[in-house]
Homo-oligomer: A and B are copies of this chain.
Amino acid sequence: MLFERIESKGLAHYSYLLGDSTQALVIDPRRDVDVYVQKAIQAGLRIRYIMETHRNEDYIVGSLELAARTGAEIWHADAQWDYQYGQAAADGQTWKLDRLTLQAIHSPGHTPGSMSYLLRDHTGAPWALFSGDALFAGDVGRVDFMGTDQLENMAGQLYDTIFHKFLPLGDGILLCPAHGAGSVCGSGIADRVWTTLGLELQINPRLQHDSRASFIAEVGRDMEKVPYFAQMEQQNLAGPALLHNLPLPPRLTAEEFARQAQEALVLDTRLELGFASAHVPGALSIWLEGVPSFGGWFLPYDRPLLLVNETGDPTRAVRYLIRMGYDNLAGTLAGGMLAWHTAGYKSASIPTVTVQQLCHLLDEHGEPWILDVRSEQEVAQNEIPEAHNIHLTQLPQRKNEVPRDRPVYVFCGSGLRAMIGASLLRQKGWDNATVVLGGLAGWSSHSCPLDLE
């Protein structure tokens, strides 16, 4: 038997590859499908079915790509929408995989037509539940995608799904959601890598309600909707373009890169320290592992992207980008910043300070303007007095709250997001931002008083 969870890092997206003696299926495949094809071949299995739990909004679904490679059947949830490929799964419908059975369970709440899938073994005993975005480890799905007027309705449906359909299956059922910790689809997802209905019933804070009404009143809403979601929804309905292979962009000489950079957006995926020292003027900083989480907020679809990285191998960045539909990657800087400098091009830099240096500065100059780009939740847990909080994702809209005429110290948890923020400000004309290395973690570890007054 084959039972593998394949995680797409950063998106914290979980897909599942199930197989018995000869056949396999994939639940919620991602767009770069080579991993499924390869693992199935190695296990001697043929992928027959592709199951979707809902129309995803946070990544490009790989169903069409995988079907093109394997001939597998695509089964959609959310049949209320107008899919232009595949077929709709029906509540209660079953699929056989040699001795295993998969059964669809209509589980509305996150979307009206969400489907979960219950896996039964050869004795018919239920065993694992693929819950899509309805129930996670430590959290439940958000219910705000259908609009504000539908919040209560959807939250109620989600309550019924979880409490009347899922939990009665038994505490011992293995719970296999579509996302893990770090996903934008659930702010409180725990990093238990495997969980069960019983564990969730006991320790998931969202399930500790004594009434349907109190669940409805508190459940995930008013969450941020990442700009690229609209793009994903549309592509996932129409059927995304087939890639066949990872579309590796051309490697450009410094000269070609400089020429194309006049039109394109330069994305620099190095860590914050290298970016601080020197970067292509106008570049946006998002460290590589932050691209799945932050790329969708700041990267355009209608303008070419150019890439700067450390190693020269863009493979991982390309995976991250095409999973969000960024097929507009036009090139990478061959030889990295070293090539840029040896070709004699100007670079820009962004100042940094360690926490110790900041303490000295504050002692001497007083009245700093501190920009805290952490989320409201993070701020609530550990506030910096006198700091101005603008969540990183809001910075483009709220940038004018940031002064231009005195030093601005940008804080986050570690320095990585602060550098994104500083590079955004720099793009818009602010040249007075300094990034605090180590961020609040460094601050907390250090003796300089947290209270800046």
Contacts and interface: CB of A to CB of B under 8 A. Distances in A.
Interface string A67-102: 001110000000000000000000000000000000
B171 A127 contact: no
A125 B201 CA distance: 12
Interface string A249-282: 0110100000000000000001111101110000
A227 interface: no
A248 interface: yes
A46 B334 contact: yes
Nearest to A44: B312
B41 A315 contact: yes
Contacts of A217: none
Contacts of A125: 199, 202-203
B445 A344 contact: yes
Interface residues of A, number: 86
A98 to B, nearest CB: 10
Contacts of A365: none
B174 A171 contact: no
A160 interface: no
A271 B310 contact: yes
Nearest to A123: B203
A341 B437 contact: yes
A170 B198 contact: yes
A241 interface: no
A286 B198 CA distance: 44
A42 B170 contact: no
A445 B340 CA distance: 11
Contacts of A171: 170-172, 196, 198
A416 interface: yes
A271 B22 contact: no
Please give me the 7 A-B residue pairs with the lowest Cβ-Cβ distance, nearest first.
Answer: A172-B198, A344-B445, A341-B438, A244-B244, A171-B171, A342-B441, A273-B277
6 contacts: A2-B193, A170-B198, A172-B200, A173-B198, A278-B437, A344-B443
Interface of A: 1-3, 22, 37, 41-42, 44-46, 69-71, 121, 123, 125, 127-128, 170-174, 190-203, 244-245, 248, 250-251, 253, 270-274, 276-278, 310, 312-313, 315, 334-338, 340-347, 349, 352, 354-356, 413-416, 437-439, 441-446
